[in-house]
A and B are shown apart, each in its own frame.
Chain A
């Protein structure tokens, strides 16, 4: 292949390094109004009265709205939220009212004049407490909400989804196992921290059509949510996402856009803009859900795991419109990448009065693997196996079955494991882990496996259009969003490969629901696979049209023609050829007439044969489009006087099917490792009675260049049968094994198990003191 598999430079590179690319907050529209939001000071309270009179009369204020202006419930999977609170507030920071004014300062002054009377209600600030029969109800009307058929809310409780796996007979297997072990773990809330905070602009024209510029991952999903919320037809809403400064899931779905629409509706055609502050981003966008895990395992003396019983209790926060699906993913992924015959899993999403849990790179897999992969090491230690051998024995292999009973035909997990073992010299006796170590330091190494599938409804769609120009260049139109992952470049490479047109002659256009074709969402590590398939199909469609015309032009049957370096060429007589550009607008005949017209290729894609699982048992033949497997190993160093943990080296290996762009995928994995490292040793949203205590980069540290370890990145390529060029996604999986690998390395170094994230210096020091007592 000429373009796929090569390190083509990013197609958006020049615009980004020169500062020329306009993100939403960079856009300046004439006569823009600025929005500010009145937010709840209470985690849980009934709204008795909202008085906006003083705000409305402040000079410069053009519109004031309250929950009365946005009463339709919306949600991606469970319609449980309104864009502003109506009857109750359910987290501290929830929007209660909003203002549009001539300047930000006036808008903020007006917000301060809005008076809200509350009746404070007891709050649910712990998911486990929220399950108790006497817990306050966060959503008493849960029974009235609409939701997708693959979710199981329990009205009258705080449970918004209870996903079950019932495979084999776990109880019987526990009774027969040589050992039964139970371990518990906790993963706190964290935040995505894209460097660009959420930003949006909304404008309503005199004809009632709405235009929204939004830093969002999924323009079509935003359009749908706004349509439902405001009873507008889809052809009257245009969502543009000109550029996105990082998403990691936080800009999936719909957030601040819904606050701007009712303001725009009252702003007489003027644009209304809102850009979140960093504090807003921490509190009022999405956060990653907290999770309490308990894993009971039955294991035999030879190391074979015979049964697991998992209880995953997720702190979904105030609204779980998106979170219910993370909990579902945590359920069907609940064994991790291990082949276990008897599985009992309860994955439970609990409403709390915490910030709204939402999609975060990993979509439940990071959380459950922190528990699963430490548990595997704890089992290995108990029966005297090495961490490698227990994974060799129990880890998934081709032909094995996962938690849903799916038979896995392609599975490179063991190859990634051996790759990492090799890269870290794990089984080489002459390797000295402690080479050059200083006093008061100890080193350790840890390994963890991981897997992830795109967690999305079975039948979500992608589409692409390729338009050929008369000079041999082309335009590729998709609504997959390049949020940094490099999709613009990778999709262009795929188009280039099919059409034999060099990548620099193909311009990609994205993110405009009026002009670029449908894409469900840029989430779930699905774009290379889903949008890639749509692009390949569109280019094959264009190619077919070219072949039809070329066979007339060349008097050669199209079965004997092929594309080669921008020409359609006879396979038998290569001198018979016609340039793509000559046919781009149709075929000109010798008598001066023409046929066909411009070549426009169209491609649509839905992952084939993905079906629902059984409601009672969670079993199913193909519940997801594909699985991505991988392994990471780490070497760490701990200062025993301060507890400071430094990650020295990370080796990472993933089976990605086919590497489309080596340089870009390597960068993506390196970024995932640092994000995983941050969640492992620094990051935690500190919640105190529903209040986020550290909503800034001083009190919530994310990794800097100082924290960068040596990184050894490699790939296994077992082709995905239905993937474009055999590729599957890896965006999220690459941060999944990092935290448990670090936790396992801490045990290796100190003999101490830290079962809650983050593994801070304080926790290590405290555990060391207790151990040495």
Chain B
């Protein structure tokens, strides 16, 4: 039994028939071939699969694909334009806020969700917002600095 669902992903309208036990992460990675979101644990513990659903950060491994019906989804692939990175992506590069890169898409989406809700977060708010995203490489400091760079830019706008 498959269910027909309609949603937008990275501003593109999609209609898809999915089986009821498929996760949002499986649908994004396998059916749409958007492999930026990663599976690090499959249990909502590491945050590597974080995407935005109606602007809120979600562990895509814990949400069923059928629940995406009518929703607006943004993945890491939806941030940059053809010619320009999102300023948070550029800040991650400029601040060396990534190493192996496996947590990076989820980390950026958690950072992005925070900045969309609060354009000028404090260090404490940034630390809290990414505390569900595990990174084994960076020690988090440069990630916080990258997000704070955008926060400070927003404050000066």
Chains A and B form a bound pair = yes
Of B38, B79, B105, B139, the contact of A673 (CB 8 Å cutoff)? B139
Fill in one digit per residue for B34-67: 1 if any A CB lies within 8 Å of its CB, else 0.
Answer: 1111111111011010000000000000000000
Asked if A670 is at the interface of the complex by the 8 Å CB criterion, the answer is yes
Instruction: Please report the C-alpha to C-alpha distance between residue A246 and residue B136 in the assembled complex, in whole angstroms.
Output: 8
Judged by a CB distance under 8 angstroms, whether B20 is at the interface is: no
A484 to B103 alpha-carbon distance, docked (Å): 11
Interface residues of A in 185-201 (CB under 8 A from B): 192-197
Question: Is there an interface contact between A484 and B37, defined as CB atoms closer than 8 Å?
Answer: no
Task: Give Cα distance in the complex from A21 to B76, angstroms.
Answer: 12
* Chain A: minimal CB distance from B115 (Å): 15
* CB-CB contacts below 8 Å: B66-119 with A: 75-77, 79-80, 85, 89-90, 92-105, 108
CA distance A712 to B77 in the complex (A): 35
Q: A195-B135, A667-B99, A671-B99 are in contact. Are A19 and B144 (CB under 8 A)?
A: no
A697 in contact with B96 given A195-B46, A670-B141 (CB within 8 Å) = no
Closest to A650 in B: B139
Give chain B residues whose Cβ lies under 8 Å from the Cβ of A314.
none
Minimum C-beta distance from B131 to chain A (A): 5
Tell me the bound Cα distance from A757 to B140 in angstroms.
23
Chain A residues contacting B93 (CB-CB under 8 Å) are 9-10, 13-14, 17
A696 interface residue, CB < 8 Å from B?
yes
Residues of B within 8 A of A7 (CB): 96
Residues of chain B contacted by A248 (CB below 8 angstroms): 136
Q: Using Cβ atoms and an 8 Å threshold, which residues of chain B touch A673?
A: 139
Cβ of B137 under 8 Å from chain A: yes
Q: Is B18 an interface residue (CB 8 A)?
A: no
> Is the CB–CB distance between A16 and B101 below 8 Å?
yes
Chain B minimum-CB-distance residue to A15:
B101
Residues of B in contact with A, size category: 35 or more
Q: Of B36, B128, B131, which contacts A18 at CB under 8 A?
A: B36
Residue contact B131 to A706, C-beta cutoff 8 Å: yes
Scan residues 105-157 of chain B and give those whose CB is less than 8 A from a CB of chain A. Answer: 105, 108, 126-128, 130-144
A486 within 8 A of B: yes
Whether B80 contacts A195 by the Cβ 8 Å rule is no
Is B12 engaged at the interface, CB distance under 8 Å to the other chain? no
* Contacts A14-B93, A19-B35; A195 near B103 (Cβ below 8 A): yes
Cα–Cα distance between A675 and B136 once the two chains are bound (Å): 7
Which residues of chain A from 691 to 715 have any CB-CB distance to chain B below 8 Å in the complex?
A: 696-698, 702-706, 708, 711
Encoded as 1 (CB less than 8 Å from any B CB) or 0, chain A from 277 to 289 comes to 1100000000000
Stretch among A23-31, A154-162, A263-271, A634-642 lining the B interface: A23-31
* B136 with A670: CB separation less than 8 A: no
Chain A proximity of B50: nearest CB distance (Å): 11
- Using CB atoms, name the residue of chain A closest to B39: A25
A74 within 8 A of B: no
Chain B residues within 8 Å of A14, by CB: 85, 93
Closest Cβ of chain B: how far from A360's Cβ, in Å?
12
The answer to whether A22 has its CB under 8 Å from any CB of chain B is yes
Q: Cα distance A664–B99 when bound, in Å?
A: 9
Q: Does B41 lie within 8 Å of A696, measured CB to CB?
A: yes
Contact status B43-A278, CB under 8 Å:
yes
CA of A10 to CA of B95, assembled, Å = 10
Kindly state the separation between the CA atoms of A485 and B101 in the bound complex, as whole angstroms.
10
A484's partner among B39, B41, B132, B137 (CB-CB below 8 A) is B137
Using A18-B77, A23-B38, A705-B143 as known contacts, say yes or no to A666 and B100 having CB atoms under 8 A apart: no
**Complex alpha-carbon distance, A247 and B97, angstroms:** 18
- A671 pairs with B45, CB closer than 8 A: no
Nearest A residue to B95 by beta-carbon distance? Answer: A663
Question: In the complex, A704→B89 CA distance in Å?
Answer: 21
Is B136 a contact partner of A19 (Cβ separation < 8 A)? no
Q: A18-B77, A19-B76 are in contact. Are A671 and B101 (CB under 8 A)?
A: no
Judged by a CB distance under 8 angstroms, whether B4 is at the interface is no
Which one of A22, A25, A196, A696 contacts B45 once the chains associate, using CB atoms below 8 Å? A696
Smallest CB separation, A481 vs chain B (Å): 10
A128 to B79, CA, bound (A): 55
Rounded to whole Å, the gap between the CB of A646 and the closest CB of chain B is 13
Contact A243–B41 (Cβ < 8 Å) = no
CA distance A713 to B86 in the complex (A): 29
Q: How far is the CA of A12 from the CA of B93 in the complex (A)?
A: 9
Query: Which residues of B have CB within 8 Å of A20?
Result: 36, 77
Q: Which of A193, A195, A669, A706 contacts B38 (CB 8 A)?
A: A195
Given A16-B101, A17-B89, decide whether A278 and B131 contact each other with a Cβ distance below 8 A: no
Contact in complex: A19, B37 (CB < 8 Å): yes
For A617, list chain B residues within 8 Å (CB). none
Question: How far does the Cβ of A193 sit from chain B's closest Cβ, in whole Å?
Answer: 6
Indicate if the CB atoms of B101 and A484 lie closer than 8 Å.
Answer: yes
Cα(A197)–Cα(B43), bound, Å = 14
A19/B34 in contact, CB under 8 A? yes
Q: Which residue of B lies closest to A678 (CB)?
A: B136
Q: In the assembled complex, how far is the CB of residue A738 from the closest CB belonging to chain B, in whole angstroms?
A: 11
6 more A-B contacts (CB under 8 A) besides A9-B94, A667-B138, A697-B45? A9-B96, A18-B76, A667-B97, A667-B99, A667-B137, A704-B134
A-B residue pairs in contact (CB < 8 Å), sample of 25? A9-B93, A13-B98, A14-B93, A16-B104, A17-B89, A17-B104, A18-B77, A19-B35, A19-B36, A21-B101, A25-B35, A26-B29, A26-B35, A193-B136, A194-B136, A195-B135, A245-B100, A486-B99, A666-B96, A669-B139, A696-B43, A705-B131, A705-B144, A708-B144, A711-B139
Partner-A contacts on B (CB < 8 A):
29, 33-43, 45-46, 48, 75-77, 79-80, 85, 89-90, 92-105, 108, 126-128, 130-144
